[in-house]
Structure 1
Amino acid sequence: MTINKPAKCGTLESNDIFVMLTPSENGISIELESVVEKQFGNHIKMVIEEKLKEMGITSVLVKAQDKGALDYTIRARIEGAVKRGC
């Protein structure tokens, strides 16, 4: 799959993550802002990247604003944004 247009999913409420995907030609790039970035930033980026690869996305710019979302929420928001962007 390829991201054809900018897409977003999620909210800025507590325990959620707001994700915006933008088409890119430079592989997967992730820009993360998180209230728990020092403790879990690398893990959040790993979850995002795994879900993108699982869905066949190889090139996209991800801007994510996390407010303490759990892994299943992150995966759901990525999936929703990918489906909107394709």
Structure 2
Amino acid sequence: MNIVSQAVAGTLESNDVLVQVGPSPGGIQLEVDSIVLNQFEDQIRQAVLDTARELGVQSARIALNDRGALECTIKARVETALRRAGEVSP
């Protein structure tokens, strides 16, 4: 999947995550801001990268503003934002 535009998914409500996605010239650029960053940064980053990999995304700018979302919520929001911003290669 190629990321061709900007997209957003999620909210800034408690227990949710706001995901912003856009094109990137090379690789996946990941920026994470979270109220639980000290405890769960590695798990949050891994969830995002796993989701991008499953969708075949090789380059994207992904920014998360996490308000304590569960892993399943993070994955769902990332997938939604990537699908909104991407186009599937033939």
Q: TM-score range by the shorter chain?
A: over 0.9
Cα distance in 1 for residues equivalent to 2:16 and 2:71: 10
2:75 is aligned to 75
Asked if 1:24 corresponds to 2:29, the answer is no
Structure 2: tracts of 5 or more residues without a match? none
Q: Which runs of 4+ in 1 moved over 6 A?
A: none
1:84 is aligned to 84
1:63 is aligned to 63
2:14 is aligned to 14
Deviation, 1:42, is: 1.3
Q: Report the AA paired with residue 6 of structure 2.
A: P
Q: Report the AA paired with residue 17 of structure 1.
A: V
Normalising by structure 2, report the TM-score: 0.93
Cα distance in 2 for residues equivalent to 1:12 and 1:31: 16
Q: Report the AA paired with residue 47 of structure 2.
A: V
* Alignment size in residue pairs: 86
Cα distance in 2 for residues equivalent to 1:10 and 1:33: 14
